Amino acid sequence: MAVIALCGLADATFLTAMHLTGDDSVCGPSSGCSTVLSSAYATMHGIPTAAFGLFAYFVVFSAAICAAFGYRRAPALLALTVAAMFLVTLWFLYLQAFVIHAFCPFCLLSAALTFVLAGITVATFPPR
């Protein structure tokens, strides 16, 4: 889980940097990418949405590392964070599909990673 969280962390860091620099040229001809990143949902209270993802992936990584080293409360924190991320990801997929009408590949990658994290969490639940 820590490895997947690291991938998510890299993706979210990249998206946050792109947002803060205003550079969506990396989207290339993908119209959806630019549309999503310039939408009203790309920020929350002036903070890039990707920055929240960055924070969430960092929490997942930290909890996964702590769980691996036997910290007793870490699995519960891990499960709670992944559950929250899963729900938020569903909401963002809904926004992209039915409100913004465009998909951003980097956001879809993050969604896929969250689904994998959720799958692992469910498969290993309850944590020992």
- Contact residues toward other proteins (CB under 8 A) are 6, 9-10, 13-14, 16-25, 27-29, 31, 33-43, 46-48, 54, 58, 61-62, 65-66, 68-69, 71, 100-101
Round to whole Å and give the CA distance between 6 and 62: 10
CA distance 20 to 13: 11
Q: How far is the CB of 52 from other proteins (least distance, A)?
A: 13
Residue 105 or 122: the one with the smaller Cβ distance to other proteins is 105
CB 87 → other proteins: shortest distance, Å?
Answer: 23
Residue 52 or residue 58: which is nearer to other proteins going by CB?
58
- The sign of the torsion formed by the CA atoms of 50, 87, 85, 45 equals positive
Region of 48 (left: φ > 0; alpha: ψ -120 to 50; beta: rest) is beta
Closer by beta carbon to other proteins, 26 or else 90: 26
Helix %, strand %, coil % for the chain, to 5?
75, 5, 20
Quick one: 80 or 97, whose CB is closer to other proteins? 97
Taking the complex as a whole, how short is the minimal distance between the CB of residue 20 and other proteins, in angstroms?
6
